[in-house]
Structures are given as structure tokens and as C-alpha cells.
Amino acid sequence: MKLSELKIGESGRVLEVGGEKALRRRLLDMGITPRTIIKIKKRAPLGDPIELLLRGYVLTIRLDDAKNITVEEVSL
């Protein structure tokens, strides 16, 4: 499943980070790496962007970028 498909309050473990070379590098540099646990904190009123909690900090990314991240749902 894609990160963009998770609902508010749900968590996922990153399996793969895709996208173009520059986008993939940027996502990896922000800490979105395989095996990282990510929780969806908020969504903007129109659904884009989304606010994530990972590695002890909050990160906001665009929904289009979240579609390039493959996760498996986990329960915490």
C-alpha cells in the first residue's frame, strides 16, 4: 500500500522509497528510509499536504510525494 492511502492515526513501516532520482534522494534525506515507522498525524482540509510523525519529529510532505512511498500497515 502507498503512504498516501493511510488514514489519520494509522501507522506504516516503509518498505520502499520510489520516485525520480532527485525526489527519492530528498525523501531519503528527510529520514524516510526503509524500515522507518511513520504515523499520519494530520491532513490539510483538502487532503494535501499530509503531516507525518517519524523518528521523533514532524514532517509535512505533498500527497504526490507520499504516493511514491510503499508501506505496510502496522499497529502500535
Q: What pLDDT digit, counting tens, does each position of 8-39 carry?
A: 999 999 999 998 999 999 999 999 999 999 99
First-residue to last-residue Cα distance in the chain: 18
- Which helix (H) or strand (E) is 65 found in, with range? helix 63-66
Domains and CATH numbers, the chain: 3-74 (2.30.30.90)
**Contact predicate 70/52, CB 8 Å:** no
Global pTM reads 0.89
Instruction: Assign 33 to helix, strand or coil.
Output: coil
Which of the 8 DSSP states describes residue 68? T
Question: For position 12, what pLDDT does the model report?
Answer: 96
Place 54 in a pLDDT band, splitting at 50, 70 and 90.
Answer: very high
Place 75 in a pLDDT band, splitting at 50, 70 and 90.
Answer: confident
Structure confidence by residue, pLDDT tens digits, 42-51:
999 988 899 9
